[in-house]
Amino acid sequence: MKFLNARIWLIVFGIFLLIGSLSGIGSVESEASKQWDGVDLTGRTLDIAASVEVVWVLNIALWGAAIIAIALLVSGHSLARIGVVAIVTVILSQLVVGGYLGVTYDYGQSGGPPWQFFVILALAIVTLVACIMNWKQKPARWYASVSD
């Protein structure tokens, strides 16, 4: 098995997104308070801030589930090509959402991104490289002749 196996890295990345994001579902209020440091989050305001965190967590969990499904259902060069699209879409969507919330609503301005961001980014880069390296992989022969 080669190190840059696109299927393995997509599954690892998807599992990390799925489990990593859902593990934070119980701490959305504390995460909201941390990300909007300096804002008085009480009552309804805290509910709204926690709702943003819940939506973000579930969004990432669904991305993880979709990437795992892609890795299990697609093969060959199609897997690598769809994997590139999926990884780039995940990275861009999260950067756009985080950037928009940061610029518009001062989200996450108190301490920078959490350490999980850097782990996800590193996994995404390795997975993206694995998919790019397998971009021109020959499709498996689905037929076999009797003379083979």
Position 86 scores a pLDDT of 95
Range of the domain at 40: 6-133
Q: Is residue 1 part of a domain?
A: no
Q: Is residue 146 part of a domain?
A: no
Position 83 scores a pLDDT of 94
**What pTM, to 2 d.p., does this model score?**
0.81
Low-confidence ranges of the chain (pLDDT < 50): 148
Q: Is residue 148 part of a domain?
A: no
Q: Is residue 94 part of a domain?
A: yes
Domain count, the chain: 1
- 5-9 LR contacts (CB < 8 Å, sep 24+): 5/130, 5/134, 6/71, 6/79, 6/80, 6/83, 6/127, 6/130, 6/131, 6/133, 6/134, 7/71, 7/75, 7/79, 8/130, 9/123, 9/126, 9/127, 9/130, 9/131
Q: Is residue 51 part of a domain?
A: yes
Q: Is residue 100 part of a domain?
A: yes
Structure tokens at 89: 């879409």
Structure tokens at 141: 């022969």
